[in-house]
Amino acid sequence: MSAPALADEAAEALADGTTVAELRADKRVRRRRATLPYVLLAPGIIWLVVFFIVPMWSIVSTSVETGDMDTGFVLSWRWANFGDVWSQWHQQIIRSLEYSLMCTVFCLILALPLAYFIAFKAGRWKNLLMALVVAPFFTSYLIRTLAWKTILADDGWVVHAMNTLHITPLLSGMGWTYSDNSVLQTPFSVVCGMVYNFLPFTVLPIYTAMEKIDPRLHEAGQDLYASAWATFRKVTFPLALPGIVGGTLLTFIPAVGDYTNAVMLGGPKTKVIGTVIEQQMIGTGGNIPYGAALSVLLMVGTLVITLAYIKRAGTEEIV
Amino acid sequence: MSKNTETPAAGGAVAGDLKLVNVTKRFGDFAAVKDLTLTIPQGSFFALLGASGCGKTTTLRMVSGLEEPTAGRVLLGDHDVTRLRPYKRPVNTVFQNYALFPHLTIAENIAFGLKRRGVKDVKKPVQDMLDLIELSHIGARKPNQLSGGQQQRVALGRALINRPQVLLLDEPLGALDLKLRRQMQIELKRIQTEVGLTFVHVTHDQEEAMTMADTIAVMNLGRIEQLGSPTDLYENPRTTFVANFLGQSNLWPGKASGTVGEHLRVRLEDGTGVLIPSARNNASGDEVIVGVRPEKMSIHASADEVPDGRNMLTGGVVTDTSFVGVSTQYVVKVAVCDELGVFVQNDGARIFRPGSDVVVSWDPSQGFGLDGKQDIDAGAEADLEAGS
Ligand SMILES: Nc1ncnc2c1ncn2[C@@H]1O[C@H](COP(=O)(O)OP(=O)(O)OP(=O)(O)O)[C@@H](O)[C@H]1O
Ligand SMILES: [Mg+2]
């Protein structure tokens, strides 16, 4: 603040009875207030540097190194690594994106009515039902996924029922399974596992958004000639949209890198990019720069899709 | 309103009165509305008046279809709408809390009903409505950028644009300050006369009900206590609840002791005999509660000043005097009542200070009689609560 301005302020303040001392104290408080945001931000910034910027730099620089396991890798800025990995594994990259897209769509189809029901119709059972939605988290991810191997086993009742209802031939007709009486080791079983594992991530943000909607708005909708469905489309959905965008992103982004489901419930034909990266980085592949290049590629791909999605959904405030 | 305007009557033509027939609504064991029968003529401004929790909102919700009656029927003209879904009824509501859609602009909020009914060109009717509620300049804003009074007008416009057969208003003016409230009352009344729709207006502001409505129903504990024109209700209350709830009344218990011409003689508890018109006596037996409105009473320094033929209570002492400009309001202690209200118009006559010995009187034609077997204070506390 310039000196004359301060003088003006002082004159003004003195006019309504404030003393100069009070004015100085006031200034000190204001200065402290100006630095306070940075103090509060510091832990976050340090966190970001240590756990985001540094690893980010590390992975990007690794992706342009050359060498081998025995002699070690040196930073040679070989951008052609990206061309190499794309031509070798683009199938797996596209497959990963396909699976996670399907997973997200099915999660959304399940989560919308579920969240709607819990938020508006469950009454006093609300909290219990929400606890049930997250209950699977109390067991290990691996065990939960393994359980689906039993659920979808060839001689299990699920597959029997699907056979009786002629669903299995339908699935194999669509190319989601490979035979008429088995569903394991197929894209179908992998996506089943993914939907199961990621559903809570979709439900929670949607539920939170819907919970905040005043139920009286539904009554207003109905009063204004909107059927239950029209009220959902014109009132509930737009108001829950931030939650829907958040939920689908929370599902889609981790699903792209997930390979547990593909490994445990899938087979050779369902290999996803996560598996490839794992093999290159720590497994039998042995080419760490290739693994890093794939990671960067996947990250950029996910980011582009996410940004395009958010832009279309029109809720910029969540980025 | 010409027939070829862009807003067709909602839900097809089922003209006529709104009728509730033996309607009961129970929530669990609790009956919020008890065996209510009511006819609201088409085109009238009907006010539902009553203390908090007496079932006004519940009654409206059964008309709009948001609540289904436990028993009884709701009719629009000859059309039974009891089980009709809310979105199929030609009825719109201005909600107690407005319930505007926060994600839509003012103009979109107003267009909502028309669009749902498949009206293609909503631009002109929406503009006309914005003009009517005087918000044309802010049609593009969202509801949370509006003041309370503006939101209230949007809620009104959003319902009114559909030209429903019945418009339900659930205390739409409750949140407004007094000045804006009076302004909106005049506005509402103007709009109602202009469009000629049936308005059912819920309020617990009795003054509001009296100035706006053609007919008032006073509700108490899920029942209609009395129904009539504002003057009728005020001049001829039939129960102590109505007498106390609608304005103020001085009420004293007594016993009928014969007739004098057109009048009934009632002996009050201290032995004073007063006359009330037989025609205005609602008591079925001997026990009669005599009622007189405070502004119908006069105050005098001594019994000599009281003209002949007037009822009179002697031996009073003024306990409180409030000068309110147009009138002076006295509280007088007499034998039959500790807190008798007397409102005297400020015509320049002398003002009695607290402590003065006085006599109060009134013309026999101004009294009324109520059944003695009811709670004499019913509605008095409710009025205090609602009036605050
Ligand atoms: N959904 C419900 N479940 C149980 N009781 C209810 C329900 N809705 C209303 N009630 C009860 O029914 C009674 C009437 O409620 P209502 O909302 O009709 O009152 P009101 O006359 O509109 O009051 P106010 O002037 O305060 O708005 C109240 O005692 C209320 O507690
Ligand atoms: Mg109410």
Regarding beta strands B45-50 and B215-220, do their DSSP bridges make them parallel or antiparallel, or are they unpaired?
parallel
Nearest-atom number in ligand 1 for the CA of B28 is 4
Residue of B nearest to A216 (CA): B99
A215 touching B (Cβ < 8 Å):
no
The pLDDT tens digits of the residues spanning B126-140 come to 999 998 888 999 999
* C-beta B52 within 6 A of ligand 1: yes
Sequence ranges of the domains in chain B:
3-232, 236-386
With a cut of 80, say whether residue B387 has pLDDT above it: no
Cβ contacts (< 8 Å) between B86 and chain A: which residues? 219, 222-223
Which of A214, A216, A226 is the closest to B116 by Cβ?
A: A226
- Do the Cβ atoms of B296 and B366 come closer than 8 Å? yes
A222/B contact by beta carbon, under 8 A: yes
Assign domain B236-386 to a CATH class.
Answer: mainly beta
More confident site: B155 or A22 = B155
> What burial letters (b/e) apply to B13-47, b meaning 16+ CB within 10 Å?
ebeebbbbbebbbeeeeebbbeebebebeebbbbb
- Ligand 2 centroid to Cα of residue A269, in Å, is 64
Q: Rounded to an integer, what distance in angstroms lies between the CA atom of residue A77 and that of residue A57? A: 13
- Is B12's pLDDT higher than 60? no
Q: Model ipTM?
A: 0.79
Q: B267 C-alpha to center of ligand 2: Å?
A: 42
Q: Does B113 touch chain A (CB under 8 A)?
A: yes
Q: Which residue, A244, A270, A275, is CA-closest to A257?
A: A275
Assigned CATH class of B3-232: alpha beta
Confidence band, pLDDT 50/70/90 cuts, at residue B3? very low
Kindly list the residues from chain B whose CB atom is less than 8 angstroms away from the CB atom of residue A227. 85, 87
Alpha-carbon distance A145 to B213, whole Å? 68
Cα distance between residue A301 and residue A93, in whole Å? 9
Q: What is the structure's pLDDT at A319?
A: 35
Query: How many Å apart are CA B188 and CA B213, to the nearest integer?
Result: 11
Cα of A190 vs centre of ligand 1, distance in Å, is: 52
Question: Considering the entire predicted model, what is its pTM?
Answer: 0.79
Kindly state whether A220 is in contact with chain B, defined as any CB-CB distance less than 8 angstroms: yes
**How far, in Å, is the centroid of ligand 2 from the Cα of B231?**
25
Q: Is the pLDDT of residue B11 over 70?
A: no
What pLDDT score does B168 carry?
96
pLDDT digits 0-9 by tens, B169-224: 998 887 777 887 888 888 888 888 888 889 999 987 888 899 899 999 999 999 99
Our CA-based measurement puts residue A126 at a distance from the nearest CA of chain B, in whole angstroms, of: 21
pLDDT at B310: 94
Looking at residue A117, what is its pLDDT? 96
**A216 and B CB contact within 8 Å:** yes
Please tell me which of the candidates B65, B99, B116 has its beta carbon nearest to residue A230: B116
Q: Is the CB of B36 under 6 A from ligand 1?
A: no
Q: pLDDT per residue over B276-312, tens digit each?
A: 999 999 998 899 999 999 999 999 999 999 999 999 9
- Does residue B204's CB lie within 6 angstroms of at least one atom of ligand 1? yes
| pLDDT at B259 > cutoff 60 | yes
Beta carbons of A130 and A118 less than 8 angstroms apart: yes
Judged by a CB distance cut-off of 8 A, whether residue B91 touches chain A is yes
Tell whether ligand 1 has an atom less than 6 A from the beta carbon of residue B53.
Answer: yes
Per-residue pLDDT of chain A (319 residues; tens, 9 = 90+): 444 544 555 455 445 556 666 767 777 777 777 788 888 889 999 998 999 999 999 999 999 999 888 888 889 999 999 999 999 999 999 999 999 999 999 999 999 999 999 999 998 999 999 999 999 889 999 999 999 999 999 999 999 999 999 999 899 999 899 988 889 999 999 999 999 999 999 999 999 999 999 999 999 999 999 999 999 999 999 999 999 999 999 999 999 999 999 999 999 899 999 999 999 998 888 899 999 999 999 999 999 999 999 888 865 444 3
Q: Name the more confident of B388 and A97.
A: A97
